[in-house]
Each structure stands twice: as C-alpha cells, then as structure tokens.
Structure 1
C-alpha cells in the first residue's frame, strides 16, 4: 500500500527502527517502510546501540519521501546545542524531511552512565525551545538546566519548522508536550493507557497558544506481528520486560499486573540476567504493554488505539521477521483505518 491509496482519514503511520542492526540494514528497512506507506521513521537512541544520527544518514540515502529523525534522544547524554545541530544536519541532507524526537531518557540507562536525570520536564522543554531558536538562525545564550553561551549553527535547515515530538508517559510531560511541542510520542500501546494520556493532553492543548499551530498525538507502541500468534507474542518478551521494569505503580494497577511478578522482572534486569527477565514476562504483561499477534489481531488493536490518538508509531520489536513484520504492520494499519 502507498500513502496515496489511503483512506481519507488523516492517520499518521510511523515506525521505530532500532540501530541494534548495522546501518545499511536499518536503511533497507526504512526503504521498505516507505514503500509500505509509512510517513515517518524514527531511529531509536540507546547508548549501547549504533549512533542514531549515523544510521539516519544512511536512511536518508535509501529513501525519498519518508520523514526521518531520532526517536528519542535525550539532553543528558548529549548537549542540547549538539542535538539541534545533528537534527538540522539530517534535515539538510534529506531536503527538509527531518523531525526531532526528544525526551527525558530512561532513568536506569542514564544511571549506568553516572548521569542524574534532574528536572526532566524543564530540561526537555528548554532543549527544544533552544533548538527552534538555533534552527531559525539565532545566536543563543541560555542559563537554565544547561548552559549555552553565544551558541549558533553554521547551517540553515531547509525546513521552515522542524517538527518536535516529545516522548512522554507521565502526566506533566504529556501536558507540556501538548502546550509547547508539535507532537507527542506516547509511550503506550493499550487503549486504557492511551485514553488516560488523551485526557492529560486535552489539558495541555487547552493552554496551547493559537500561533503554535496543530498538535499531533502518536502512540509510540511496542508491536510484534507475525503469521503465527505464538511466535509474535514470544518475540514481544524482551521489550515488554523493559517496559515492565520501568512501569510506574499506577500503570501496573491500571492493568492489574501483580506487583510481585513485575518486581521479579525488574530484579532480573537489574542483575543483568536477561533470559530470566524475559522468561518472567507473563501473558498479562504482553497484553498490557504490547500490540502482539497476527495481522488480523494487530489490526483490531490498532483500531482500538486509534480511538484515542492521531496515529501510531510501530515500535520494537516489530516481529520475529523484520521485513515480514513491516509489511504486516502496514496491512494492519490499512485495515484499522478502513474499519474505523
């Protein structure tokens, strides 16, 4: 399917590609996603994987129209001015297809690097405010959660406005994104979580300045799709384990996830025993934190999710076979839109 053949309903199709694979392989997947009708591809950012901006440069070369950007980087591992320059470079070499996915980062991963995640909401807001000024050609001095003195970029991104998407899960970050950013990447897959998030976003949109323009909410959802339901659910175990390990108490309660079972997963992750952690993921955890199953099952779950968001970013693990999963995810999105 291609973007031109879609339903008249305006639904954004996004995909997260993880640089756990070599850059050329990720570029191949981005090209396939473009062929399958996806609008935007995010390269995820984790210190233990390949550099997302290097990978994005390969994705640029392999594609023609799909929008591209990091999803999501954080302003703790890398200075915000540097992030603005890197994103502007992707926008430049892609002839204006850049997007900026930014968030507070994972607390446990930052802790591994000896980084304290202080004032996350302010730091994220200050980061993209500063980036916008730099992209507009301004010289910026900033004293806040970080420092920049007489900073400017030696390039002009072709986009009139590079869209900023904030990775968010908690109420304050959700409301801030709706008030100030161009879009939000909601770290959730289940309709109950997305409905709750939509309520928070409504509060932020109510305070959004008119001149800020339209705002877009996207579910940044863990998805695993395959021809065999059991294989799809098995592939979902690793990402679900990490989601459970970082889930807040209210989220676990919302899905009636046993606290002891969740703690068992967290403890195994903290010990670095990944096989044990993945093995402790329960069916209820997969149901709560991943859209997993066959094309038909996933289409039904996409349809339910789209009751609360403007689009879906199909995230890790995608499925046991990546090429097959991208094609199936495209088909599932088309079915969900046609049925909605």
Structure 2
C-alpha cells in the first residue's frame, strides 16, 4: 500500500464522487486486550488508513486506555473514541480524556461523540434525556476547555469553574458526531467538524445526505469544512459465505433496533425484525443471530469478498466523503483489514 497522507482535516466535504481523497477510517472494538487492538491499529496504519476509532461500551475494555496503546503503536494515524456518550461520563471528563490522547499521540486525536445506545444506557440506569442538546453542549464545552478556558455551564449537565490542567498539542481537536436520526444529522452539519453516519447502504446514506444538506445550509461560515463519513458494519473475507456469516451479530443488533421507516426503506419483513428484537431482549443471542435474514445483511452490512465490498464502498462514496470500516471487519481481523484496504483502493481508484 502506498503512503496516504489525507486526513480528516484536509479532506473536508470532498466532491463525494469516490475520488482518491476519500478518508479511510476503521473502527477497532476493544473486545480484545489493548495490546491486540494496538497491533491491529498498526496493521491499519500500514495499510493506509487515516483514522482509527475505538468503540465505547461499558462491557468492553476502556476506549481511552486502548487509545493510549494505539498511540504508542502507531506514528501517523489519527485516533479517537468512536463514539463516547455524555451520560456514562461527565462531559468535562470526556474533554480531559480526549486531550490526554491528543497529548500522548503528539496531536493526532479526534473526538467521536454521540448520544449512546438507549438500551445499553438503560442497563446502567441512565435516561437518555434531550440527547441532541446534550451532545451539542458536550462538544461546545470541550472546545472551550481545549483552548484553556475556565467554564461554567448550566444546561443538560452542570459544570462550575471547570478547567483543564493541560492543553492539547494539536490546538484544535476535530469533533465527529455519531448520528442516525434527522435532527442529530442536521445538528452535526451545523456545528461539528464531521459526522459518523450510522449506516452502510446507499439508500440510507442518500437519505442522510439530504438531512445533512439542510444543516450545512445553516452552518456558520467560520466553522470551516465539514466531513461526512459512513460508519458502516463491514465484513470482508476471501469467501462470501464466511463474510456474511461473520456479519450476523452486528446485523442482529442493527435490525433489532431499526425504526419502522428504515425497515420500510429496505423492504425488511417486520415480523422477521421483531423476532430478532424479541430474541435480543430475552438475551438469547444465538436465536437472534440465527433469525438474521439475507435481506437484513444486505441492508445493514457491507459483506462479501474484496470485490463485492469494493463495489459497495464505491456506491457509498457517491454520498459521503469517506468510509469507517466498522465491526465485525471479518472472520480474520488482520486479513479483513488488508482486504478492506484493497477494497477502498479499488473504490477510490488508487
């Protein structure tokens, strides 16, 4: 893989035509020990990826600990949480943690923030109240803290005379909002540096692009460029069947929580989706995964051989500036990272 120097700071909103300037990003899930995830990030950097996100769920390893290991194992790839939520952790603390990652990585941090998964938050007793406002207030406050300000805030959360005892060396950490619904999409386009669209299919991405366009129309001129990334489940392998089988777990959770509008957009049988959702609620993961249909995999994951995935990447890139290759990646993680890189190279004519 030839050296690729494009980063989220330089790609902006691109021409959305699948050009070689598309951002290549990857999600690394800390379901594995930090050293293992750091090794995977090093492979991703070697294969030309621009950004490595670590997902954040209470049942996995701490994303910021893992990010510190990734910083040690890599030299150029940008890195950050993808995404943290401001309910489990106070926004001031999230700003400090992200600034620390910027410090230990010599200015390579990005801040991926979103409202979090409602069902996961409910497991911990959190109510996801006023999610759009809370996310916006979180990264607005973080930006002020990163510039050395002392802040007092009364809103969806409280902070009084809060400040940080460090300043991120990058000077300005890019903020990416994880978004799926129309209001969060529009807010991200108006206020953030980028968006992580929770979708993989061109139909969903086309719809999201329309919502983002409305937000961009209200974006202040001094905000600078805005980048759109498709944060999609991807499963790539040498064998089509193996890749699609590995996609069942994430697709089950996506299908089980899909809105009526999304199911209708993809002509997904509602009873089939309800069967997946019911099995998940019972905690019967095996049954949930078994109930995933081929149509669900097609709608909610980019799965298949390198060639198939390259074609799907190319289709997605007509609507976005880049791709986040998300979990599960594939049945063999190192092989999947290399294949995803090859597929992105084909999709972007590189």
Q: Give the TM-score taking structure 1 as reference length.
A: 0.98
Say yes or no: does 1:218 pair with 2:225. Answer: no
- Partner residue in 2 for 1:331: 342
Note if 1:201 corresponds to 2:217. Answer: no
Identify the residue that residue 126 of structure 2 maps to in structure 1: 115
Q: CA deviation at 1:8?
A: 6.6
Q: Which residue of 2 aligns with 1:136?
A: 147
Q: Distance in 1 between matches of 2:5 and 2:342?
A: 12
Deviation at 1:160, TM superposition (A): 2.0
CA distance in 2, matches of 1:216, 1:59: 23
Q: CA deviation at 1:3?
A: 3.5
Alpha-carbon separation, structure 2, partners of 1:93 and 1:164: 18
Aligned counterpart in structure 1 of residue 308 of structure 2, from 297, 319, 335: 297
Unaligned 5+ residue runs, structure 2?
A: 7-17
Q: What is the rounded CA distance, in whole Å, between the counterparts of 1:279 and 1:135 in structure 2?
A: 46
Q: Do structure 1's residue 306 and structure 2's residue 317 form an aligned pair?
A: yes
**So what's the TM-score if we normalise by structure 2?**
0.96
Question: Is contact 2:250-2:327 (8 Å) kept?
Answer: yes
Q: 1:167 aligns with which of 175, 178, 181?
A: 178
**Which residue among 231, 235, 238 is the counterpart of 2:249?**
238
Q: Distance in 2 between matches of 1:42 and 1:238?
A: 20
Structure 1: runs of 5+ lacking an equivalent? none
3-state SS, counterpart of residue 189 of structure 2: helix
- Partners in 2 of 1:318 and 1:2 — Cα distance? 22
- Deviation string, structure 1 residues 6-36 (Cα, Å, up to 9, x no partner): 9973100000000000000000000000000
Question: 1:226-252 CA deviation, whole Å, 9 max, x = no partner?
Answer: 000000000000000011111111001
Answer whether contact 2:243 2:331 (CA < 8 A) is retained: yes
Deviation of 1:4 (Å): 3.5
Answer yes or no: is 1:32 the counterpart of 2:40: no
1:262 is the counterpart of 2:276: no
- Secondary structure of the corresponding residue to residue 41 of structure 1: strand
- For residue 27 of structure 2, what is the aligned residue in structure 1? 16
Q: Is the 8 A contact 2:103 2:168 kept in 1?
A: yes
Runs of 4+ in structure 1 off by over 6 angstroms are: 5-8
CA distance in 2, matches of 1:226, 1:311: 21
- Give the distance between the partners of 1:33 and 1:113, measured in 2 at CA: 33
For residue 3 of structure 1, give the secondary structure of its aligned residue in structure 2: coil
1:42 aligns with 2:42: no
Deviations 1:54-94, CA, capped at 9 Å, x for gaps: 00000000000000000000000000000000000000010
Q: Which has the higher contact order (CA 8 A, sep 6+)?
A: 2
Classify the secondary structure of the residue corresponding to 2:159: strand
